[in-house]
């Protein structure tokens, strides 16, 4: 009996890479790509998250407070006592911010030399400048019976307005202590009023307004000439509307 070839019971195998290896390689490739992407992303500059704050609102400029400068030249009625200062009181009550410089010359007038041995006009250059807004001359009863008062007053006003061309002129006439006004005071009052008219200034007629007439005569102090502390406060109330009109 002839023998045939003995059939091998082994199956032919395809030589190659196992499937599990291929699977592993596939997964590894995906992982490698993912890691590469992450590496690139990590090296990339991060997107800015900065948000510009809104521009701060500009603060308005500070308001400039204009201060009105007043210069007072006059007799002892301008002087303050230890407890009363009517000039400071009235400037503090005005509707505008105001400062006051004062030259109080006891016993003096436009022509009469008093305790300071000077007259009103000689103090103009020290009291008035181009920054002065209002020039106030106060009085004076000390000039009663004297000559050339009008001319001396006019010269003082001319000099004051030359130093302060934009200033307003306020002149307060002589003050008397009661309603029994001597004729010499009335004459002086008329002369000063006339001298102011040529300058377009304001004349405060204390005689016509009757400042210390009748019951208000009690506001004169014990010396019979000068106002008491209460009288000084009273003068402030009298002068307030005049000075307000001159500064508004």
> What average pLDDT does this structure show over 178-187?
98
pLDDT bucket at 7, cuts 50 / 70 / 90: very low
Active site residue 85: no
Is pLDDT at 84 greater than 90 in this prediction? Answer: no
**pLDDT over 70 for what percent of the chain?**
74
Residue 30 forms part of a structural domain: no
Residues 97-108 have a mean pLDDT of 96
What is the C-alpha separation between 107 and 183, in angstroms, rounded?
20
| Residue keyed to tokens 């009625």 | 77
Look at residue 6 and tell me if it is in a domain: no
> Active-site residue 195, yes or no?
no
Q: Is residue 165 part of a domain?
A: yes
Identify whether 114 is part of a domain: yes
Q: Are 159 and 194 in contact (CB under 8 A)?
A: no
The larger pLDDT score, comparing residue 151 to residue 20, is at 151
Residue-level pLDDT at 87: 96
| Residue 58, in any domain of the structure | no
Averaged pLDDT for residues 87-97: 95
Please report, for the domain that includes residue 142, its CATH number: 3.40.50.1110
Q: Compute CA distances 137 → 26, 27, 176, 228, whole Å.
A: 111, 109, 16, 21
Position 194 scores a pLDDT of 95
Catalytic residue, candidates 2, 195, 223, 242 = 223
Which residue range is the domain that position 186 belongs to?
Answer: 68-247
- Cα–Cα distance between 248 and 246 in angstroms, integer? 6
In the set 85, 108, 133, 226, the catalytic residue is: 226
Known catalytic membership, residue 123: no
Range from 21-30, 202-211, 230-239 carrying the lowest mean pLDDT: 21-30
* Position 223 in a domain: yes
Rounded Cα–Cα distance for residues 136 and 138 (Å): 6
Q: What is the pLDDT of residue 248?
A: 86
Q: Which of 76, 103, 104, 108 is catalytic?
A: 76
Per-residue pLDDT at 64: 63
Burial readout 93-128 (b: 16 or more C-beta within 10 A, e: otherwise): ebeeebebebbbbeebbbbbebeeeebbbbbbeebb
Task: Let me know: does 48 contact 111? Beta carbons within 8 Å.
Answer: no
Q: What is the pLDDT of residues 192-216, one digit of tens each?
A: 999 999 899 999 999 999 999 999 9
Q: Which of 175, 212, 167, 178 is nearest to 192 (CA)?
A: 175
How many Cβ atoms from other residues are within 10 Å of residue 2's Cβ?
3
Assess contact for 141 and 212: CB atoms under 8 A.
no
Number of domains present in the structure of the chain: 1
Phi, then psi, of 242 in degrees rounded to 5:
-70, -45
Paired with 104 in beta bridges are 74
pTM score over 0.85:
no
pLDDT of 188 above 60: yes
Mean pLDDT across 145-165? 97
pLDDT recorded at residue 33: 52
What is the token pair recorded at 12? 């032919």
Residue 210 CB burial class (10 angstroms; 0-12, 13-18, ≥19):
middle
pLDDT class of 42 with cuts at 50, 70, 90: low
């Amino acid at each position: 009996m002839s023998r045939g070839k003995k059939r091998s019971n082994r199956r032919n195998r395809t030589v190659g890479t196992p499937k599990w290896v291929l699977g592993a390689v596939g997964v590894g490739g995906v992982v490698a790509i993912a890691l590469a992407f992450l590496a690139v992303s990590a090296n990339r500059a991060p997107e800015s998250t900065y948000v510009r704050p809104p521009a701060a609102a500009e603060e308005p400029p500070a308001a400039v407070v204009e201060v009105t400068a007043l210069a007072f030249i006059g007799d002892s009625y301008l002087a303050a006592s230890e407890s009363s200062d009517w000039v400071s009181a009235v400037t503090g009550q005005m509707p505008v911010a105001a400062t006051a410089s004062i030259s109080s010359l006891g016993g003096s007038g436009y022509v009469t030399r008093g305790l300071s041995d000077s007259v009103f006009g000689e103090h103009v250059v020290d009291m008035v400048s181009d920054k002065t807004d209002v020039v106030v001359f106060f009085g004076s009863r000390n000039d009663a019976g004297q000559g050339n008062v009008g001319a001396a007053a006019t010269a003082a006003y001319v000099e004051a307005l030359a130093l302060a061309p934009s200033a307003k002129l306020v002149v307060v006439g002589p003050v008397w202590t009661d309603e029994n006004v001597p004729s010499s005071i009335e004459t002086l009052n008329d002369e000063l009023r006339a001298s102011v008219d040529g300058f377009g200034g304001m004349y405060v007629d204390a005689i016509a307004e009757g400042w210390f007439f009748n019951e208000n005569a009690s506001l004169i102090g014990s010396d019979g000439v000068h106002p008491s502390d209460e009288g000084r406060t009273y003068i402030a109330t009298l002068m307030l509307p005049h000075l307000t009109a001159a500064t508004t």
